[in-house]
Structure 1
Amino acid sequence: MSSTASGEIHTTGPASLEGNFTTDAGDPYVIDITTNDIVDAFKCDSATLTYDKLSDMTGRVTITGNVGADVHINCDRDGAVAVITGTVTTAVDPPDTIMGSGRWALRSGAKVSGDH
């Protein structure tokens, strides 16, 4: 059964994105994405990450997707796919295809639920 995490995703440069998501348990994850091509600047303040296991948000992933009025990004790690979706604040027109690579990490300084 899939789980979701709420967060945001935005461009940090012409070929880079960053997303920040918090699981229901309060664990904060970040994904840094480098795209193969230039992507027009966008911001999605209310994005949803859908995943099967927390391990889907570890290590390096292959990125495919698009951004227009909405953003849809697949983060594939050896067949385990986490999906980022949401509506952008200002539509990218014409829409851009997003392809590249990303790296998931637990946000620095975060305390994982269950740690004491």
Structure 2
Amino acid sequence: MKSVTDRVEQLRRTYSRQLPDRIRELERMWHRFVERREPLPLAAMLESTHNLTGSGGVYGYPRVSSISRELHQTLLNIKHEGGAPSSDQRLLIEERIGELLREVTPR
């Protein structure tokens, strides 16, 4: 039987393996949202950034958590402002997604 420590480490490894794909999916959703202005990608991005904000720190990625928090707030602002991102918001989101990818991509 595995110890609690072993199980936690297994969860951390699984999270670490899946994290780059989750962020790339966030990037794809962003591009779909910008190109089509569909509300579904925005809702999915809000859920994804919310989840990353909470899980990043738990699994040893505090920068993922803080960057995701900033992304989430910017996406909320876009939603409350009618769903059309300003050029500054677009730039910020694209920069932060790039930061997330750099943070989780093995060097």
Specify which structure has the higher proportion of strand: 1
TM superposition score normalised by structure 2: 0.25
Q: Larger C-alpha radius of gyration, 1 or 2?
A: 2
TM superposition score normalised by structure 1: 0.24
